[in-house]
Amino acid sequence: MHLIQNFPFISIILCLASGVVSSVLSGKNAKRLCISLVSLLGILNSMVLFYVWKTKESYTFMMGHFPAPWGNELRIGVLESLMAVFFCAIMLLSLCGGMKRIFKDVEEEKTNLYFVMIDLMLSSLLAIIYTNDLFTAYVFVEINTIAACALIMIRNNGHSLVAAAKYMIMSLLGSGLILMALSMLYDLSGHLLMSNIKEAVAQILPGSQYEIPLTVVIALLCVGLAIKSALFPFHSWLPDAYGFSTPSSSAILSSLVSKAYIFLLIKIFYRVIGMDVMIDHKITNALFFFAVIGMLMGSLSAIKEHDIRRLIAFSSVAQIGYIYMGIGLGTKAGMMAALFHILSHAASKSMLFIAASGLSEVSGNSKDFTDLKGSGYRNKIAGIGFTVGALSMVGIPLFAGFTSKVYFAEAAVNASTSKMAIGMVILAISTILNAVYFIRAVISIYTPRNEHFIVPGYKPAVTFSVAMVFFIVLNFVLGIFSNPIMDAIEVGLKMFA
Amino acid sequence: MEVFEIILLLFLIVCAIAVSFSKNLLTTIIIFMSYSLIMSIIWILLKSPDLAITEAAVGAGVTSVLFFVTLKKIRAMKEEDNDEQA
Amino acid sequence: MGGNLLTNFYEAVAVILFGIGFTTLLLHRNMIKKILGFNIMDTAIYLFLAVKGYITGGMAPILTNGVEEQAYYINPVPSGLVLTGIVVSVSVTALMLALTIRLYRRYHTLDIDKMSMLAKKEDL
Amino acid sequence: MSKLNPNYEASKWRKIERFVNGEEISDNPNLSKHEEEIREASQEDKERNEQFEATITDLEDRIQKERKRSIEALYRKYEKWPQTKGIKIFTHIYRILAVLFCVCIISVLLMTVSYLPTFGDASNPNNNEVPKRYIEKGIEETGAINFVAGMILDYRAFDTLGESHVLFIAACCVLILLRIDHSKNGKKPTEKAEAEEDDRKFEPKNDKILQKIASLLIPPIIIYGIYVVLNGHLSPGGGFSGGAIIGAGLILYLNAFGYEKIEKFFTYKTYQRITVGALLFYACAKSYSFYTGANHLESGIPKGIPGNILSSGLILPLNVAVGLVVACTMYGFYTLFRKGGM
């Protein structure tokens, strides 16, 4: 057992322990502990990524003295460690980007509790990515829900409390459905371990006694995880939740939390029920249908928004529709495009949220577009960051959004003819809709107005500019050097099942 | 034993419907308390005593206490509003 | 309709309770009613899960007079899972109740729609 | 806005004003005529700018007021909304639709239940080799008489580790929401004093009957709670239920004897120390057994003789740690709800 193979387990336990410890530290020390912890985890998981990339096959890590079906188990492959590295990087950047606003929004006594939430959320994200046992995934989904609700409500103005209440109600509904599906699956297969369930499910032939319960289980799982990751019909909680929380928590929520649930759904697709059983049960068509409507409705409702944070929130409803469209295509290329879009959307969405907080800081802390006019000149780095994020969302070449749209188009072309037609048309329409509201936003922040907001000698915080620069570099790397990432995803998918 | 279990389960359904349809909050919470007590009896009938103790202590005990404290806090604030308005 | 509905009457009752809890959570606008609905829904799911482990004629999973065969005891796995679940639903209930007190202290109402309207009004 | 008087300069009122401002009143015009003219000219320029400025701000105010008035009208209409006929019908339809939605969910799930394996049948799929090993090899592998406790704290220990962190994170959330802390600057203590006063007015205050019964009841409760925690691996119970019983005992003590008595031995500091200490011990103990298990090292924790108190390896200390965390959290919930502080 190579030492590097222990790193995923060590990173989860370190996160849990540092979450507990930083509840007694002061705000400043908790911040230092959290930043150093997230960067350490980034390094550890990248070492795991190289190790698994070299050995070319995924290994299982036995939690405790008892092998898999009896004890818990982690399963580490290229795809999981790539996701883990990426999640740590995005969390580090959004924390640094929004650091000044955290200390301004949160009460002085309660900043260390904010970093407790960040640590425990990171541990639940890593556990959801790595676990190979369904009930462990459910327990850490609960930790994730409570931590996300705390991140929304920690900024104690009226709006964020109401948004947190709505978020909790919808999320608890989702996890109730997931637990119901889990207990039915346990009843059918007798196992909680993902690979054993797959063997049992494979034996359920169409027309046998357990055929209908299996369909209901698949439906409950997909609806539960769709509610939690805000797919179209269940996205009512998303604009308030992202619109009224602190910038760094809305960046983390929009780019990491909903993506972890989608990754769990992909893991269920491949490892618990099996891709071919899913396609026979036509669940991929239902997901494709809702995703397509989501892409349109998300962009349409974003057009009439005149608050910059809610505009970005509605655009993430549309982008989640993209990811579910990739899953709904049902082909391997579609799944790879969806996984790449998880990465590219996480990078550009968190950049947009942090840049928007920088812009509203120089325009009298208001989020309305009338006051944000000309803020691109006042806070230069935030203006550039917002423009790069907006152009990548619209899909201009050289940016991350463009390459994921190319992969979506490729996947849609060799999917079935009806899906290809609908997919390509909707892809085009939603790109135009994206262009409408994002280009309008970029133009409005660069029209020279509101001179009275100009503070002579205003310089944005150092951590903010550093985070912005790294975000821009990350976006270009994803846009231009996407081939090595796609190879990693392909290799990961091969060993994923 | 069969009949006793059926009576308890019917009582559970009646409690659940009563909780969702009754107007006064205090009676709803008391009905919910009896709901979790009946649930811990059912755990015993299902031969899982661990769950019975946990449901009784954690489910019926502490949850109902928290509900009562919340109700008292809301009643206290309501009286303060009436004093201010009066 | 499969044959097992009458034999699985425990699971049938659990599913009915799940439906009632689900609708109470969705239908009522009063926050306390929503939290009660959530509790009923969760307890129903735990009943549904724990009933899976029951074996007629089995004893409670505690070693009695040295017997170590599987046939004598019920399946301990579901009770372990439900034990974890009960504590999850208590902690989530405590969180939601704290949120309700905080919202009532600010908006003096328990109705979630009125709260969001008052929050919007606060913006002007 | 009253219109400005054109020869305002010469008016009596202006003279009084200048007198009040301390300017010297020069009646004879020839003195510093030139200075007078300059002041007059600059006065007119300033007035014109002010008027121009006034019109701009007036314009913006009017737009702002207009926008506010239209939204206000919208909200007044919104408040009268539920009474309008259209909405009443809509709520009725909404209710019927919701009940239909609930009936169809229940019927779908009932149909699934009818296809599930029969209740209580020994040959169900989930009665396979997994519980077989828990029961048959449970004693020699974990040493716990209570198979469920053995399963929770040894076989599937990762779930219970996550579980106690769910409780910890919920306690942190309630702290964020309800805690009124005694920070140094002036504003906070008033809030705290208000919560104290509010608590004293509505909560029971040292009434004799409650205290007498409490002094009879609390010792058995606490002893029973400790028994349940310590015998977690021998009889039903364990960390969670035992901790909740001890927490309930502390809540009864607080209700009967008030905050002064309990703060002698249980303040926010002790709450933090106990919770963090127990959780860190739990994480270290479990990561030790995970690490040794994963790398196939021999973990040198004695299993002891099954049936005694000190028997099943790590399960007893873990139960004590979980019991402490649960007791402090339940008590913390109660005090935070009541007074926003320990």
pLDDT of residue B34: 94
| pLDDT the model gives residue D3 | 61
Q: What residues of D are in contact with residue C24 (Cβ under 8 Å)? A: none
Q: Residue C124 is nearest to which of D68, D120, D132, comparing CB atoms? A: D68
Say if the Cβ atoms of B69 and D338 lie within 8 Å: yes
Q: Report d(CA A330, CA A311) in Å as an integer.
A: 30
Checking if the pLDDT of D1 tops 60, the result is no
- Binary contact (A186, D126; C-beta < 8 A): yes
Mention every residue, 6+ apart, whose C-beta is less than 8 A from residue A222. A265, A283, A286, A287
Picking from A396-400, A474-478, A481-485, C117-121, which range would have the lowest pLDDT averaged per residue? C117-121
Per-residue confidence band for A90, with pLDDT thresholds at 50, 70 and 90: very high
What average pLDDT does the structure give for chain A?
Answer: 90
In this prediction the ipTM stands at 0.93
Of the two residues D99 and A176, the one the predictor is more confident about is A176
Structure confidence at residue D32 (pLDDT): 56
C98 close to B66: Cβ distance less than 8 angstroms: no
A91-123 residue pLDDT tens: 999 999 999 888 888 888 889 999 999 999 999
Taking CA–CA distances from D228, the nearest residue in chain B reads B53
Is residue A354 over pLDDT 60?
yes
The yes-or-no verdict on residue D203 having pLDDT over 80 is no
**Same-domain pairing of D180 and D39:** no
How many cross-chain Cβ pairs, A to D, lie less than 8 Å apart? 165
3-class DSSP assignment, residue A137: helix
- Min mean pLDDT across A16-30, A237-251, D73-87, D185-199 is at D185-199
pLDDT in tens, D127-146: 888 888 888 888 888 888 88
Strongest mean pLDDT among A98-107, C32-41, D288-297, D307-316: C32-41
Confidence of residue D4 (pLDDT cuts 50, 70, 90): low
Distances (CA, A) of A311 to A301, A316, A325, A348: 8, 9, 21, 14
| Per-residue pLDDT, A116 | 95
Note the pLDDT of residue A384.
Answer: 93
Is D153 found in the same domain as D13?
Answer: no
Q: Based on the fold, state whether residues D154 and D95 are members of the same structural domain.
A: no
Q: Does residue D299 belong to any structural domain of this protein?
A: yes
Report how far residue A473's alpha carbon sits from residue A481's, in angstroms, rounded to the nearest whole number: 11
Confidence at residue A468, expressed as pLDDT on a 0 to 100 scale: 93
B81 confidence band (pLDDT: 50, 70, 90): confident
Of C24, C74, C101, the CB nearest to B19: C24
- Same domain for D91 and D50: no
Chain A residues with CB inside 8 Å of D158's CB? 63-64, 72, 133, 136
Q: Which residues of B touch C20 (CB under 8 A)?
A: 13, 16-17, 20
pLDDT given at position A351: 93
Average pLDDT over residues A11-29: 93
Report B:19-58 residues touching D (Cβ under 8 A). 48-50, 52-54, 56-58
Mean pLDDT of A327-349: 92
**Who wins on pLDDT, D75 or D268?**
D268
The boundaries of the domain holding residue D53 are 8-24+33-79
Do D310 and D183 fall within a single domain?
A: yes
Range of the domain at C21: 3-122
Bridge partners, residue D336, by sequence? none
Q: Give me the mean pLDDT over the C24-38 stretch.
A: 90
pLDDT value at residue A281:
86
Among B46, B55, B67, B73, most C C-beta atoms within 10 A, so best to mutate, is B46
Q: All domains of chain B, ordered by start, with CATH?
A: 2-85 (1.20.120.1200)
C3: which DSSP letter? G
Average pLDDT over residues A363-377: 84
Model pLDDT, residue D81 = 66
Is the separation of the CB atoms in A238 and A316 below 8 Å?
Answer: yes
Q: Examine chains C and A and say if they touch (3+ CB pairs below 8 A).
A: yes
D131 lies in a domain? no
Same domain, residue pair D238 and D222: yes
CA distance A195 to B16: 38
pLDDT of C66 over the 70 cut: yes
Q: Verify that D224 and D271 share a domain, yes or no.
A: yes
Give the span between the Cα atoms of D91 and D89, in whole angstroms: 6
CA distance linking residue B4 with residue B46, whole number of Å: 12
Establish if D111 touches chain C: CB-CB under 8 angstroms: yes
pLDDT band at C92 (very low <50, low <70, confident <90, very high): very high
Residues of D in contact with B20 (CB under 8 A): none
Note which residues in 56-85 of chain B have CB less than 8 A from chain D: 56-58, 61-62, 65-66, 69-70, 72-73, 75-76
Tell whether D179 and D303 lie within a shared domain. Answer: yes
The domain that holds C55 is classified in CATH as 1.10.287.3510
Interchain contact A410–D (C-beta under 8 A): no
- pLDDT given for residue D189 in this prediction: 61
- Chain D environment of A213 (Cβ under 8 Å): 112, 115-116
pLDDT-above-70 percentage for chain D: 83
Tens digits of residue pLDDT in A24-63: 998 899 999 999 999 999 999 999 999 999 988 888 888 8
Residues A282-314 pLDDT 10s: 888 999 999 999 999 999 999 988 889 999 999
Confidence label for D222 from pLDDT (cuts 50, 70 and 90): very high
Euclidean distance between CA atoms A89 and A50, whole angstroms: 16
CA distance C27 to chain D (A): 7
Please give the sequence-ordered ranges of beta strands (E in DSSP) within D18-100, or none if there are none. none
Yes or no, beta carbons of B19 and C105 under 8 Å apart: no
Q: Note the pLDDT of residue D187.
A: 54
Is the pLDDT reported for residue C91 higher than 70? yes
Subunits close to B (at least 3 CB pairs below 8 A): C, D
Min Cα–Cα distance to chain A from C45, Å? 6
Domain assignment of residue D245, yes or no: yes
Q: Do B57 and D245 touch (CB under 8 A)?
A: yes
A274, A108 contact by CB (below 8 A): no
Q: What is the pLDDT of residue A92?
A: 94
What's the number of domains chain C is made of? 1
> In this predicted structure, what is the pLDDT of residue D140?
83
Q: How many domains does chain D have?
A: 3
* pLDDT for position D12: 73
- Give the list of residues 6+ apart from residue D66 with CB closer than 8 angstroms, or none: none
- Give tens-digit pLDDT for D7-43: 676 677 777 777 666 665 555 555 556 667 677 777 7
Q: Using CB atoms, which residue from B52, B53, B72 is nearest to D228?
A: B53
pLDDT in tens, A125-176: 999 999 999 999 999 999 999 999 999 998 878 889 999 999 999 999 999 9
Residue D53 has pLDDT above 80, yes or no: no
Q: Specify whether D180 is located in the same domain as D322.
A: yes
Q: Are residues D50 and D189 in the same domain?
A: no
pLDDT band at C18 (very low <50, low <70, confident <90, very high): very high
